[in-house]
């Protein structure tokens, strides 16, 4: 057996051990389907219930206390998982890989975009609650966290303003890139300005509140007309 084949076999065995440990983590928490097999849907449903039970906040003070970090959310969704609830777990390589994978999967559910899992759950329930992300102090470290709220001041601070500022930063970056191109090719200034004008009109249409069939946006549009 060649050295390459030996390493390939070792990596394959390691991956199999990690996958088996992930399966076991799901089984331990009861995240299985009707067939008794591992179920991502069961895990996601439990994660939504946990989020609703633990991190719905109504004020800044509550946000500081109840917002869940990546590790905190993982520890609630997989309380028997590797390193769950431990400040400094001593893990073997397999357990460390399992922790990394499950933490990533759980945190992915907290995406604040409209397509994020928790956000979609709230939309299906026709709730006015919104998933937001922020930074909080845990053990003197400022770390990313998420929470769910109906507080409009918090929504403006941690959802609306952040998205708008992100758009402004992208626009600023685009301006610098286009300026670089025009400096090198001055004759392109007219065509670039023309194309940019066309796209600006499209952006304006996309950013017009109430321009889609969405329930929430329709309500915003009606409120604006009133």
Same domain, 164 and 53: no
Count of domains forming the chain: 2
pLDDT tens, position by position, 107-120: 999 999 999 999 99
**What average pLDDT does range 33-51 have in this prediction?**
95
Conformational region of residue 63, where left means phi above 0, alpha means psi within -120 to 50, and beta covers everything else: alpha
Say if strands 68-69 and 130-138 run parallel, antiparallel, or are unpaired.
unpaired
User: Domain range holding 220?
Assistant: 157-225
Same domain, 146 and 162: no
Name the pTM for this structure.
0.78
Same domain, 141 and 197: no
Same domain, 201 and 181: yes
Of 119, 201, 117, 108, the residue nearest 155 (C-alpha): 119
pLDDT tens, position by position, 69-93: 999 999 999 999 999 988 888 899 9
- Mean of all residue pLDDT scores within the chain: 88
Say if strands 141-149 and 130-138 run parallel, antiparallel, or are unpaired.
antiparallel
Same domain, 25 and 7: yes
Same domain, 113 and 163: no
Phi, psi of 81 (to 5 degrees): -75, 165
Same domain, 35 and 116: yes
Choosing from 150, 167, 194, the residue where a domain stops is: 150
Choosing from 150, 171, 188, the residue where a domain stops is: 150
Say if strands 68-69 and 141-149 run parallel, antiparallel, or are unpaired.
antiparallel
Same domain, 136 and 186: no
pLDDT tens, position by position, 2-28: 555 555 555 688 899 999 999 999 999
Choosing from 95, 119, 150, the residue where a domain stops is: 150
Same domain, 74 and 162: no
Distances (CA, A) of 193 to 7, 27, 131, 182, 196: 55, 58, 38, 10, 5
Same domain, 112 and 132: yes
Same domain, 72 and 178: no
Confidence of residue 220 (pLDDT cuts 50, 70, 90): very low
Same domain, 143 and 161: no
């Amino acid at each position: 057996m060649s050295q390459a084949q030996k390493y390939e076999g070792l990596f394959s065995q390691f991956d199999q051990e990690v996958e088996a440990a992930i399966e076991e983590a799901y089984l331990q928490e009861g995240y299985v389907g009707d067939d008794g097999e591992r179920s991502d849907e069961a895990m996601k449903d439990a994660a939504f219930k946990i989020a609703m039970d633990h991190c719905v906040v109504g004020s800044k003070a509550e946000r500081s206390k109840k917002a869940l970090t990546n590790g905190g959310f993982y520890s609630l969704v997989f309380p028997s998982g590797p390193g769950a609830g431990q400040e400094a777990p001593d893990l073997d390589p397999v357990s460390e890989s399992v922790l990394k994978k499950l933490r990533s999967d759980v945190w992915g559910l907290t995406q604040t975009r409209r397509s994020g899992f928790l956000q979609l759950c709230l939309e299906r329930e026709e709730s006015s609650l919104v998933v937001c992300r922020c930074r909080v102090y845990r053990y003197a470290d400022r770390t990313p966290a998420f929470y769910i709220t109906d507080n409009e001041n918090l929504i403006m601070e941690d959802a609306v303003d952040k998205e708008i500022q992100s758009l402004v930063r992208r626009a600023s970056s685009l301006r610098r890139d286009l300026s670089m191109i025009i400096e090198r090719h001055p004759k392109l200034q007219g065509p670039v300005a023309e194309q940019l004008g066309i796209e600006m009109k499209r952006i304006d249409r996309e950013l017009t509140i109430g321009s889609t069939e969405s329930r929430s946006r329709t309500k915003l549009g009606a409120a604006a007309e009133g």
